[in-house]
Amino acid sequence: MSSVVKDTHHDEHPSGIMRWITTTNHKDIGTLYLWFAMIMFFIGGLMALVIRSELFQPGLQFVDPQFFNSMTTMHALVMIFGVVMPAFTGLANWMIPIMIGGPDMALPRMNNWSFWIMPFAFSMLLSTLWMDGGAPAGGWTLYPPLSLQTGDAFPFLIFAIHFMGLSSIMGAINIVATILNMRAPGMTLMKMPLFVWTWLITAFLLIAVMPVLAGGVTMLLTDKFFGTSFFNAAGGGDPVMFQHIFWFFGHPEVYILILPSFGVVSAIIPTFARKPLFGYSSMVYATASIAFLSFIVWAHHMFTVGMPLAGEVFFMFATMLIAVPTGVKVFNWVTTMWKGAMTFETPMLFAIGFIVMFTIGGFSGLMLAITPADFQYHDTYFVVAHFHYVLVPGSIFAIMAACYFWLPKWTGNMYPETLGKIHFWLSTFFVNLTFFPMHFVGLAGMPRRIPDYSLQFADYNMIASIGAFGFGFAQLIFLYLIIKTIKGGSKATDQVWEGAEGLEWTLSSPPPYHSFSTPPVIK
């Protein structure tokens, strides 16, 4: 049954640009977040291509090393805070109220504000590219004392991070409030789709750690401008303390970037396997365990700072433990596929690609947890390969899977399936061509964040650069496909996918501007 809601005066909204500026509608705000992420994806991607161009051959060809460092720094900040986080927040905005049978987000005006902070934060961050002393070039990890050598860009960088943090915290509070208060009668916590569960846990992580980052960068700011010595050894401060503060934020942050993808994949695999998700409750507990563990493993990013032996051993063991709940998730997905009746539409392809390549990233993560071996891996391209495997064919593939999965619902039009599949296969081929050789150069001894390298690394760097350009151009297909689907296409049914289950598929495609003004009945 599709609940067609009669138009009410609530459906009126200003047209044109004012609709988007003043909107408090969760679907509009979700769309804004997703488009913002798309724009940033191409900006961050361009930066990656600058990096890969310079690394195509040994020697300095295109950019100054300082600008190269700015590119690695800004690429990371843009991709993390400007692409993956807003894209997942956009998906949350669109889908969570619908999935729990609520009419909208719990705090719609704050929702508007949390989005509209982002363009200002990123204008500020990107404007540093034209400032004296260049954009921040000390790495996205902002380790002092190097980050304190940043020029005019420094306060802009810090305030941009403050704004992104504000936006994330408000978004997270909104999501928690929505999930805990807006569920339709009968939608108990253990009936919620996993996407909602993973986002609930992610939101708590955000609320817990974004203030820690804000505190850390504020201490940097006062060290730079107000004569404090939090991290200045000469003044009695401790440069390593920053790393502890940063990674206490940073490690939960990497789970913030991946947990919602687990939710997306847990929605897609059962749909196209036409079989219920295996081990729903163990998936919930595994997500919660990963979230808990994320708070006690931070120093594995710092194995080489010279921690005492006991510290190294503790963080090694705690980190290895994460493999257990992560393994449970992968096993559950594979068992969900087992004896299903699968079809392989684009969302399913991206979800399967996610499982395979995220697991490869998980394996290298396990290797990195082994402290003695980490001394050889740390700060090399092996690490670059590792985290790009979990973030690109991990988080980004999950976001793309989600877009293909829900695009017919959002727009009412089917996307061109063949083109979607071409996009998947090109992306998969090139993403591996880019990142797999990085394992090899890393093991062979190439440090990360260098603009030039010695000759033994040349071959694989050339391959990686070719892969990066291929991957970049393949994403233009994605952009084209989305615009084309928004403009038209064969009409999607309400159900869209044969095996789809959940409240979003009971609404019309596209759903009415306000959905579930009266709560649906939950079986």
Partner 1 sequence: MFLIKNLILFITLMANFSLANAGWLDLNMTEGVTDISQEVFGLHMLILWICVVIGVLVFGAMFWSILMHRKSKGVTPATFHESTSLEFLWTIVPFVILIGMAVPATKTLIKMYDHSDSEIHIKITGYQWLWQYEYLNTNVSFYSKLSTPYDEIYNKSTKNVNYLQEVDKELIVPVNKKIRFLLTSNDVLHAWWVPDLALKKDAIPGYINEMSVVINEPGIYRGRCAELCGRHHGFMPIVIKAVEEKEYEEWLANAEKAKTSDVAKINK
Active site residues: 75, 104, 140, 167-168, 251, 253, 255, 266, 300-301, 326, 329, 448
> Could you tell me the smallest distance in angstroms from the CB atom of residue 383 to partner 1?
10
Complex with partner 1: residue 189 or 334, whichever CB lies closer: 334
State which of residues 42, 331, 505, 513 lies at the interface with partner 1 (CB under 8 A). Answer: 331
- Name the residue nearer to partner 1 (CB basis): 473 or 480: 473
Token representation of residue 351: 């979800």
Closest CB to partner 1 among 4 and 233? 233
Q: What is the dihedral of CA 211, 239, 388, 89, to 10 degrees?
A: 10
Give dist(CA 330, CA 207) in Å, integer. 27
417 contacts partner 1 (rule: CB under 8 A): no
**Cβ-based neighbour number of residue 480 at 10 Å:** 13
On the 0-12 / 13-18 / 19+ scale of CB atoms within 10 A, 310 is exposed
Tokens of 195: 């996407």
Nearest approach in angstroms of CB 68 to partner 1 is 9
CB 150 within 8 A of CB 107: no
Residue from 327, 472, 502, 519 in contact with partner 1 (CB under 8 A): 327
Q: Which of 192, 433, 481, 496 binds partner 1 (CB under 8 A)?
A: 433
501 contacts partner 1 (rule: CB under 8 A): no
Q: Is 69 in the site for partner 1 (CB under 8 A)?
A: yes
* Nearer of residues 22 and 66 to partner 1, judged by Cβ: 66
Nearest to 265 by CA among 174, 364, 386, 356: 356
Selected from 6, 9, 190, 339, the binder of partner 1 by CB under 8 A is 339
Residue span binding partner 1 (CB under 8 A) among the ranges 110-118, 249-257, 318-326, 390-398: 318-326
Query: What part of residues 238-277 is at the interface with partner 1 (CB under 8 A)?
Result: 238-240, 273-277
Q: Is 511 in the site for partner 1 (CB under 8 A)?
A: no
- Binding partner 1 (rule: CB under 8 A), the pick from 19, 344, 480, 521 is 344
- Shortest CB 130 distance to partner 1, Å: 19
What are the C-alpha distances in Å from 487 to residues 399, 409, 514?
A: 21, 14, 21
CB of residue 244 vs partner 1: minimum separation in angstroms? 13
Nearest to 169 by CA among 210, 198, 115, 226: 210
What is the spatial distance between Cα 353 and Cα 373, in angstroms, rounded to a whole number? 28
Interface positions, 377-406, toward partner 1 (CB under 8 A): 378-380
Closest residue by Cα to residue 520 from 91, 146, 186, 28:
186
Q: Which residue of 451, 511, 512, 520 would you call a contact of partner 1, by CB under 8 A?
A: 451
The per-residue DSSP string of 42-104 comes to: HHHHHHHHHHHHHTTSSS--SS-HHHHHHHHHHHHHIIIIIIIHHHHHHHHHHHHHHHTT-SS
- Nearer Cβ to partner 1 (186/276): 276
Looking at beta carbons only, is 108 or 470 nearer to partner 1? 470
CB 66 within 8 A of CB 137: yes
Helices marked H in 188-258? 194-225, 239-256
Asked if 181 interacts with partner 1 (CB under 8 A), we say no
Residue 504 backbone class (left: φ over 0; alpha: ψ -120 to 50; beta: rest)? alpha
Which has the closest alpha carbon to 398: 264, 492, 505?
264
Shortest Cβ distance from residue 327 to partner 1 (Å)? 5
Residues 33-62 that bind partner 1 (CB under 8 A): 58-61
Choose which of 130, 338, 480, 517 interacts with partner 1 (CB under 8 A).
338
426 touches partner 1 by CB under 8 A? yes
Q: Which stretch binds partner 1 (CB under 8 A): 257-265, 313-321, 386-394, 500-508?
A: 313-321
Q: Does 233 bind partner 1 (CB under 8 A)?
A: yes
Judged by CB under 8 A, which stretch of 42-50, 107-115, 246-254, 320-328 contacts partner 1?
320-328
Residues 128-157 that bind partner 1 (CB under 8 A): 137-139, 143, 145-146, 149
Residues 76-135, interacting with partner 1 (CB under 8 A): none
Which residues fall within 8 angstroms of residue 183, CB to CB, at 6 or more apart?
A: 100, 101, 102, 192
Choice from 129, 173, 414, 450 touching partner 1 (CB under 8 A): 450
Site string for partner 1, 352-381 (x = CB under 8 A): x--xx--xx--x--xx--xxxx-xx-xxx-
